[in-house]
Structure 1
Amino acid sequence: MSYIKLKEKIKKGQLAPLYLLYGTEQYLIDEITQQLLSKALTDEERDFNLSVYDMQEQPVDSAVEEGQTLPFFGDRRVVIIKNASFLTGAKGKDKIEHNLKVLEEYIENPPGETLFIIIAPYAKLDERKKLVKKLKSGGEVLQADSFDDQLKAKWLQDKAEEMNLSLPSEAKEKLLQLAGRDLMQLASEFQKLALYAGESKSITVEAVEMLIARTLEENIFALVENVVYGRTEKALRIYYDLLKQNEEPVKILNLFARQFRIILHIKELSRRGYSRQKIAGHLKLHPYAVKMAEQQAKGFSEKELATILKELAEMDYQMKMGKMDKKLILELFITQLKKEPKKARPR
């Protein structure tokens, strides 16, 4: 079952007696686990009716016995077993001896009063095992894999709606571009933006650009964008900041060349009629980065881009041969690239 569908069922209170949560996206596993707990137990009931077992330290028999015990001062009991490596093909890692037969018997007829949650934070399970087959056929199953860009956008929108926040599409795209590689990081950065929004209840693209830390590649993207639109002062400010962070001019130049190659590729592919989504897949870029590079490409002809790439190759040679100060080479390139700046986009 997909994360979205499982989340919707939990929200409606449609709880099952048995859950299997596996995969490498720990954030999704943690979030679904917390949602199940919140729906099944009050804070007061957790002291009496929540039990957590680590399969690296405790036998599965103990967890099964707990699952068969009636809830105390409440309607439900929740039993969580973590690190269920016995569901994988790994051998010799378990220090604890598990009686998996009792777990198989439990799965065949789980008590309705207990939510039994099995967590296996591994990429694959051993589908040949009888226990895995029984779990997948008898319980609710979440394979917690990394989201694609579309699912991340949906996840962000749902989060914004849950918190009554306005998240315009441009701010959402910018946030995905800057922090969308890892869901845990994306969630953390979104929480930061939500706190910053405060009473305005609005996350703006300006807030995203101000609060979200950029990687070196993203700083190069911003540097190129400022150069393209004639914002030389802002471009130099980013460049000087990178130098203060001890980034090597040769490395900056190579990333500069990479960005201009991307712009050239996008210009060529657009001319051939490729859609933005298809270009993103072909170049392995986020669609928002393609959208921004498309706009940057409008400021150059293919011939101009080819000339710039030749200049960057010559600059790389000059740096490596020590013919001129490395920092000065790049500074001159930034200031001279756009002798007659195009009209800057509104910021």
Structure 2
Amino acid sequence: MAAKKTTDYPVKQKQINEDIQTGKFRPCYLVYGEEAYLRNQNRDKLREALLGGGDKMNLQHYEGAGINPAEVIDMAETLPFFAERRVIVIEDSGFFKNGCPELADYLKNPAETTVFLFVESAVDKRKDMYKAVSKAGLDIDCETPDEQMLYRWITGKMKAEGKTISARAIAYFISRVGTDMSNMVHEMEKLISYTLGRNEVTEKDIDAVCANWLTSRIFEMTDAIVMKNQAKAMNIYYELLALKTAPEQILALIMRQFNQLLQVKEMTEYSANKGDIAKKLGIHPFVAEKLMGWSRSYQMKDLKDSLDMCLSSDEAVKSGKLDRIISVEMIIVKASSR
């Protein structure tokens, strides 16, 4: 479950809505944070309002590293074409992590006919760009909502579709699909379609149509281990622990993955294709293809050693020789170092 935390998101969201309603826009906006759904929602809402429902002739969009600040400033100084303002959207630029003195300095006295909309997944509040935007405009942190906000949001989404869902079912839904809001919207759409003709959404419905988020995150963690991305694997592990996932459950799924990798490795050595592997293991061909790709990163001995390490760790935990949380950490570190 999402951890409780203090956030100024509702306040900033209200300020953005007021700017849109009054039509009095600030010189710049920064939409950032870990929750992509909220970032994209605020980006789209601001962009459409700033354009005033007109065409995109006065919209300039820059994305990714390597953006030329001088080019952006030159565009900002260009008068809009038969419109009130020019809108410049800059996404994932890295300016808010690495700094951009030219643009930060320009924002101290920008053209009155241009509004900047910056969209970033992460920022460093010590950098010049963050300080410049927070002083001249408005920044909003789109972090993952807390438990209470998620409950209200899910209830509201369901109510808008004529559905009711209990607090217990919401808790089960979140535990099943996780707290990524884009994924939650997708899973809610499936539930709404599945329950066509009746009002209440139940835990049984969630079991029937919602993907198991935990299994998909374990897949992602295993992928990170195979790709030697130890930091990502550890981050996912800590995220799972924060969501009250039992280390034993995580270990069991890691063991299952290594066991499947070992079986796939053995079958591919006998020229089995993904269809044969999928049928033999009872998995989707897409999953079989992914396991085949992962298995190529390992020698047979490495897979056997990794599986033995999981079994030994499980035995050590059960006998009280090793802490259950540390045991999985050790497996992730060792397996991603191979």
| TM-score of the pair, normalised by structure 2 | 0.52
User: 2:16 is matched with which residue?
Assistant: 10
How far 1:190 sits from its partner (Å)? 2.1
How far 1:33 sits from its partner (Å)? 0.5
Aligned residues: 214
Is the CA contact (8 Å cut-off) linking 1:197 and 1:203 kept in structure 2?
yes
How far 1:59 sits from its partner (Å)? 0.7
Of 38, 42, 56, the residue aligned with 2:65 is: 56
Q: Which amino acid aligns with 1:32?
A: N
How far 1:202 sits from its partner (Å)? 5.6
- 1:117 correspondence with 2:117: yes
How many Å separate the matches in 1 of 2:15 and 2:160?
Answer: 16
Is the CA contact (8 Å cut-off) linking 1:63 and 1:81 kept in structure 2?
no
Listed as ranges, the gaps of 5+ residues in structure 2 are: 1-6, 217-240, 246-313, 316-338
How many Å separate the matches in 2 of 1:9 and 1:21?
Answer: 13
How far 1:153 sits from its partner (Å)? 2.0
Does the residue aligned with 1:108 lie in a helix, a strand or coil?
coil
How far 1:213 sits from its partner (Å)? 1.9
User: 1:320 is matched with which residue?
Assistant: none
How far 1:125 sits from its partner (Å)? 0.6
Q: Any runs of at least 4 consecutive aligned residues in structure 1 with deviations exceeding 6 A, and if so which?
A: none
Structure 1 residues 272-283: aligned runs within 5 Å = none
1:135/1:174 CA distance change after superposition, 3 Å: same
Cα RMSD for the two superposed structures: 3.6
How far 1:52 sits from its partner (Å)? 0.7
Is the CA contact (8 Å cut-off) linking 2:30 and 2:140 kept in structure 1?
yes
How far 1:162 sits from its partner (Å)? 5.6
Does the residue aligned with 2:57 lie in a helix, a strand or coil?
helix
| TM-score of the pair, normalised by structure 1 | 0.51
Q: Which amino acid aligns with 2:135?
A: S
How many Å separate the matches in 1 of 2:111 and 2:195?
Answer: 45
How far 1:113 sits from its partner (Å)? 4.3
How far 1:120 sits from its partner (Å)? 2.5
How far 1:56 sits from its partner (Å)? 1.5
How far 1:158 sits from its partner (Å)? 4.2
User: 1:155 is matched with which residue?
Assistant: 153
Does the residue aligned with 1:39 lie in a helix, a strand or coil?
helix
Is the CA contact (8 Å cut-off) linking 2:34 and 2:143 kept in structure 1?
yes
How far 1:140 sits from its partner (Å)? 1.0
Identity of aligned residues (%): 23
How far 1:48 sits from its partner (Å)? 1.1
Of 23, 27, 51, the residue aligned with 2:37 is: 27
1:285/1:51 CA distance change after superposition, 3 Å: same
Q: Which amino acid aligns with 1:17?
A: P
Structure 1 residues 241-252: aligned runs within 5 Å = none
How many Å separate the matches in 2 of 1:208 and 1:6?
Answer: 33
How many Å separate the matches in 1 of 2:197 and 2:73?
Answer: 47
